[in-house]
Amino acid sequence: NAGVTQTPKFRVLKTGQSMTLLCAQDMNHEYMYWYRQDPGMGLRLIHYSVGEGTTAKGEVPDGYNVSRLKKQNFLLGLESAAPSQTSVYFCASGGLQGSSGANVLTFGAGSRLTVL
Amino acid sequence: GQQLNQSPQSMFIQEGEDVSMNCTSSSIFNTWLWYKQDPGEGPVLLIALYKAGELTSNGRLTAQFGITRKDSFLNISASIPSDVGIYFCAGQTTNFGNEKLTFGTGTRLTIIP
């Protein structure tokens, strides 16, 4: 019962380098999200997807791109990393819960990214 | 955008004490969720609230969905060491096809030996 799996767990980049964070879920959820967590800021939504082939911007999308080519995977890309992107990144997936429409999320364990 | 104010930001308590924290919003939510994050892990759902006025318990945890739909409360009774962590509230406005949660900034709970 893996739930939501993120890779890698840790990464150190130099300014200007690119990288991709991978998120995989095995719960057949339609919705997937990428959040970043910074001290004192809580969780801020970067991008999200409401289904395979769809993506949308969240609260802090600049400097990031995403793709959802397969339902179970949601990729977060940094084309040219900046020190301001040093953070812990969390992927989450969710599905509508019954008639209430509530979207209860399951989170991955996080990916800690440091940009020097 | 919507903002959630969560308080207190941090709490230092002794084992066995009761804990109360709350979350207030500038706008109405139709769902309130409470998550807990252990060090080095992702948030895990504790309690979900779906109706105004609803009071729901999960073991020693009790959460309430405020009548105005702009606030929610979480209480922990008789705290134990494993309660240490960061607690996040989250609110959702039901909007099919655009389901997003807004998270509070978290309450960090520390238990003093």
pLDDT tens by residue, chain B, 113 residues? 566 899 999 999 999 999 999 999 988 888 899 999 998 899 999 998 988 999 999 999 999 999 999 999 999 999 999 999 999 999 887 655 456 788 998 999 999 88
Q: What is the pLDDT of residue A42?
A: 84
Of A43, A94, A110, the CB nearest to B103: A43
Torsion angle (degrees, nearest 10) of CA A54, A60, A66, A70: -50
Residues of chain B contacting A96 with CB distance shorter than 8 Å: 96, 99
Q: What is the pLDDT of residue A100?
A: 61
SS3 content of chain B, % helix, strand, coil (to 5): 5, 55, 45
Average pLDDT on A19-47 reads 92
**Length of chain A measured in residues:** 116
Q: Greater confidence, A11 or B98?
A: A11
Of A4, A45, A107, the CB nearest to B100: A45
Q: What residues are paired with A65 via a beta bridge?
A: A77
- Which of A105, A93, A88, A106 lies closest to A21, judged by CA? A88
Instruction: Answer for the pair B102, B5: CB distance below 8 angstroms, yes or no.
Output: no
Using pLDDT thresholds of 50, 70 and 90, give the confidence band for residue A99. low
- Which of A30, A59, A54 lies closest to A43, judged by CA? A59
Chain B positions contacting chain A at CB under 8 Å are: 1, 6, 9, 30-31, 33, 35, 40-45, 48, 50, 88, 92, 94, 96-101, 103-106
* Half-sphere exposure in the Cβ direction for A5 (13 Å, CA): 9
Q: What is the pLDDT of residue B30?
A: 86
pLDDT by residue (tens digit) across A43-95? 999 999 989 999 999 989 999 999 999 999 999 999 999 999 999 999 999 87
d(CA B50, CA B5): 20
Residues of chain A contacting B40 with CB distance shorter than 8 Å: 109-110
Q: What is the pLDDT of residue B36?
A: 96
Q: How many CB atoms lie within 10 A of CB B53?
A: 11
Average pLDDT, chain A: 91
Q: How far is B14 from chain A (nearest CA, A)?
A: 23
Instruction: Answer for the pair A83, A116: CB distance below 8 angstroms, yes or no.
Output: yes
d(CA B23, CA B49): 13
Q: What residues are paired with A49 via a beta bridge?
A: A32
Q: What is the pLDDT of residue B66?
A: 95
